[in-house]
Structure 1
């Protein structure tokens, strides 16, 4: 069933960042983010609007319509971007350029840079 899915529903759950999002990316599905409080992994670096759909809690009853109204060419662009984003969520040993380890270091570096600039 998962292999035939185009979209993967990702409610926020109990954690700050839901593992469902990474599971969706691994499964090559476009994540559908349901929450106002999602902390998007690498949100300071990645353009989540380019490869995910965000649905508010109040829009849940209309989610099927929202997803069916996404034109096929737009879905294909999002799906292609999901495929491109996979490497950023992979753990390699040893670490490789742009894998999750490098993304974490890059996010920390950006945060430190922003703190220094704002002082």
Structure 2
């Protein structure tokens, strides 16, 4: 069986024993179990639209090294903004984006998109970055990344601890180009289509559920 929402499952632990949870906020410090639960990508869909709204620019046309714009909630974002906010033309970090600038367009012009956790470990920013052909830089603790059974995130993203936030300026061009190429390769796994297409996001979620079903049966038989 499948449910959504950690609060629902915590409300009745006995029922939870018979469920596989599918959660966007896949926080292992809050009880998310990677071998049993399913991590779902968090997606922000504009009304009436399914796919990405911009094309992935070639690396040579990406004029910005890294980009972030978002509210300051959570300890990690506070550290990020203290270090970078309005201090560097290559690493553009904003608390609130100026009204004359386009968030999606800036992602498409950036080599790396900073994806710090806020109140929750997950954010639509990760999927938005992949759609834009921008290498996600995941800055969070205890996040069980979606589809990690079959996708090697280290091949198309950076995962850095808070204390190494300045590291982004030391990534070599060759490494960036490899990451960018692989972002384009995995893009199809983070797309929502109607009708469904092979290997798209819904197929990936169902595959994750199928794998957890096998683990769940094994654990249940040993209980």
TM-score, normalised to structure 1, is 0.87
CA distance in 2, matches of 1:38, 1:24: 17
Please name the residue that 1:39 is paired with: 144
Alignment length (residue pairs): 115
Q: Which runs of 5+ in 1 are unaligned?
A: none
CA distance in 2, matches of 1:113, 1:80: 33
Residue 102 in structure 1 maps to residue 207 in structure 2: no
Please name the residue that 1:53 is paired with: 158
Contact 1:17 1:39 in 2 (8 A): no
Cα deviation, 1:4-59, whole Å, max 9, x if unaligned, reads: 21000001122342111001101110000001122312122211111111111222
Structure 2 counterpart of 1:79, from 180, 194, 205: 180
Structure 1 stretches of 4+ moved >4 Å: none
CA distance in 2, matches of 1:99, 1:3: 21
CA distance in 1, matches of 2:144, 2:216: 19
Cα shift at 1:115: 2.2
Structure with the largest fraction of helix = 1
Cα deviation, 1:49-108, whole Å, max 9, x if unaligned, reads: 111111112222xx2xx2232221111111011011110111111111000110000000
Q: Which runs of 5+ in 2 are unaligned?
A: 1-105
- RMSD after superposition: 1.5
Structure 2 counterpart of 1:27, from 109, 120, 132: 132
Contact 1:45 1:107 in 2 (8 A): no
